[in-house]
Amino acid sequence: MVTRGASTTGCLFSLLIFSACLYYGVNIGEVFFRYYRLLDEMDSQARLAPGLDNGTMQRRIAVAAQEIGLPDSAGQVVILRSMSPRQITIETDYSETVELPFFLHTFTFHPRSTLPL
C-alpha cells in the first residue's frame, strides 16, 4: 500500500494557518482589550462624578492607564461638566502601534464616556 502524504501536508498547512491566525489575533486583541479596560475605568469614574472633583478623576484614570500599560497620552483625559443637559463627558486620545512579522499598524483610539449627573 502506497500513501501519497497529501493529507498529512494538508493537515500541517491548516495547522500553520491556524497558528498564524491565533498569533496575530492574540497580539492585536490585546490592544482592543486594553482600550476596553480604559473605557470601563472612564465609565466608573463618570458614575462616581457627582461626588468627585475633576482632578481626582483625572489622577485615577491616569493611574489606571499606566497600570494597564497604555501610552502616557491615554492618561491625559479631558473632563467636561455641562449644566444643560446636566452631564459629564470624559475623553482622551491615544495611539498604539502593533509590530508583527509582515504587519505594522498604528491603531488610534478615542475613548469617550458620557453620563448624566
Q: What is the pLDDT of residues 8-59, one digit of tens each?
A: 777 888 888 899 889 888 989 999 999 999 999 999 999 999 899 999 999 9
What's the whole-number mean pLDDT along residues 90-104? 91
Determine contact, residues 24/16, Cβ cutoff 8 Å.
no
Cell of 69: 500599560
Domain residues of the chain, as ranges?
A: 30-116
The pTM assigned to this predicted structure is 0.83
Question: Mean pLDDT over all residues of the chain?
Answer: 89
Residue 90 CA to residue 52 CA, distance in Å, equals 13
Residue 84 DSSP one-character state: T
